[in-house]
Amino acid sequence: MKRLAVAALIVAFSLASFAAARAHQAEPASPANPQTAPATAQPASPQVPASTLVAVLVKIPIPGKLDRTRLIAIMQKTVPEFQALPGLVRKYYTISDDQKFGGVYLFENRQAADAHFDDAWKAKMLKNYGAPAEVEYFDVPIVVEGSAATN
């Protein structure tokens, strides 16, 4: 349960940051404009309706021979791939207490997420890491920007 709560917090922060960035492109935040005001529940973006956003949690068991330093180096090498991934809003790379790695992803829609996490991707993860990836999808109906969010 603790891991699920941490993942939920990561997703919430990711969504809040995305919403804040999009809101500032549209119009300044104000109490009179609750859709862009900080620290309030709001649609994720004026340009991308909240109902289309999809969060994805991916977990893959860390192979025993792969230490944390090497794992982070592998993650770093994939940054350009994710920066260019169509439909990806944000990705957090993750390493869990129960020896799994992966990420929390935010996509503009389910189609973009499905296109990335296809059968070829799943086969590649199984081949590279010796275990299947757990992929869980979440609809994102509401985003809340916390008071600690930076603009």
Query: What CATH architecture applies to the domain 2-144?
Result: 2-Layer Sandwich (3.30)
Q: Considering the entire predicted model, what is its pTM?
A: 0.68
Task: Say if residue 132's pLDDT is above 90.
Answer: yes
**pLDDT higher than 90, residue 130:** yes
| Domain positions in the chain | 2-144
User: How much is the average pLDDT of 32-57?
Assistant: 56
**Contact predicate 103/125, CB 8 Å:** no
**pLDDT score of 51:** 55
Q: Mean pLDDT across the stretch 33-43? A: 41
The pLDDT mean for the chain works out to 77
- The answer on pLDDT for 73 being more than 50 is yes
84 pLDDT higher than 60 = yes
